[in-house]
Amino acid sequence: CEVDVSSLMAYRESEKDAFRERHGFPLSYVPFFAQIVCAALLRNPYLNSTWTEEGIVLHHYVHLGIAVALPDTLIVPVVKDADLMGFVDLARAINDLAGRARSKSLRPDDVRGGTFTLNNTGALGSLAGQSIINQPQAAILSTESIRKRPVVVDDAVVIRPIMNLTMSFDHRIIDGLAASRFLNDVQDGIDHWSPEKISL
């Protein structure tokens, strides 16, 4: 699906310099998307589950995998209990894991136990990818490249920053209806994002 990133982009642009000065690392889009995804997973728990031979295991926590591109490969470190973190702590955890992934200093536990994966392929310029599920997770969501495009708003053509969301999911666990409801929650969270929605 397509999402309008106007509000989120404007906020990040206005805050990124002060954020870096205050916290010592850059303000990326990923922690914003991560909080939106965590909220959507709590409303759609089957997306945050695992298929086993004994049945579906629902996880009552979000261990969020964050795909990190390295020069010659991809690795998915995991932010444990991402759903319980405030925004700054979540941003710091993501930045720390990504930095240690790039410096090849992750510990084995840093890449274990993920319940859902967020893949920011847009950072590499992708417009619409089809990611492979990080088994045994139920699904993987990709945020694609943000591009300015003409869109219709209130019967007028305007230019807006638009991003595609793509998702792959395990059909043994969820069907298209459940997947669409989750994706709609993420879309709504980005389309109607405001600073008041940041979980501190």
Q: Is the pLDDT of residue 140 over 90?
A: yes
For range 66-83, the mean pLDDT: 93
Q: Which two tokens stand for residue 4?
A: 């309008």
Q: Which two tokens stand for residue 136?
A: 């045994």
Q: Is the pLDDT of residue 14 over 80?
A: yes
171: annotated active-site residue: yes
96: annotated active-site residue: no
For range 103-124, the mean pLDDT: 91
Q: What is the pTM of this model?
A: 0.94
Region of 107 please: left (phi>0), alpha (psi -120 to 50) or beta.
Answer: beta
In whole numbers, what is the pLDDT of the chain averaged over residues? 94
For 28-31, the CB contacts below 8 A with 24+ separation are 28/91, 28/94, 28/95, 29/5, 29/120, 29/143, 29/146, 30/66, 30/91, 30/94, 30/118, 30/120, 30/143, 31/87, 31/90, 31/91, 31/94
- The predicted pLDDT at position 130 comes to 85
Q: Is the pLDDT of residue 123 over 80?
A: no
The angle at the Cα of 196, spanning 193 to 14, to the nearest 5 degrees, equals 70
* DSSP conformational letter for 117: E
d(CA 106, CA 143): 24
3-state secondary structure 30-60: HHHHHHHHHHHHHHCHHHHEEEECCEEEECC
Catalytically annotated residue among 175, 185, 188, 191: 175
d(CA 166, CA 183): 9
Q: Is the pLDDT of residue 168 over 90?
A: yes
Question: 171: helix, coil or strand?
Answer: coil
The angle at the Cα of 76, spanning 72 to 82, to the nearest 5 degrees, equals 150
Q: Is the pLDDT of residue 158 over 80?
A: yes
Catalytically annotated residue among 171, 185, 188, 191: 171
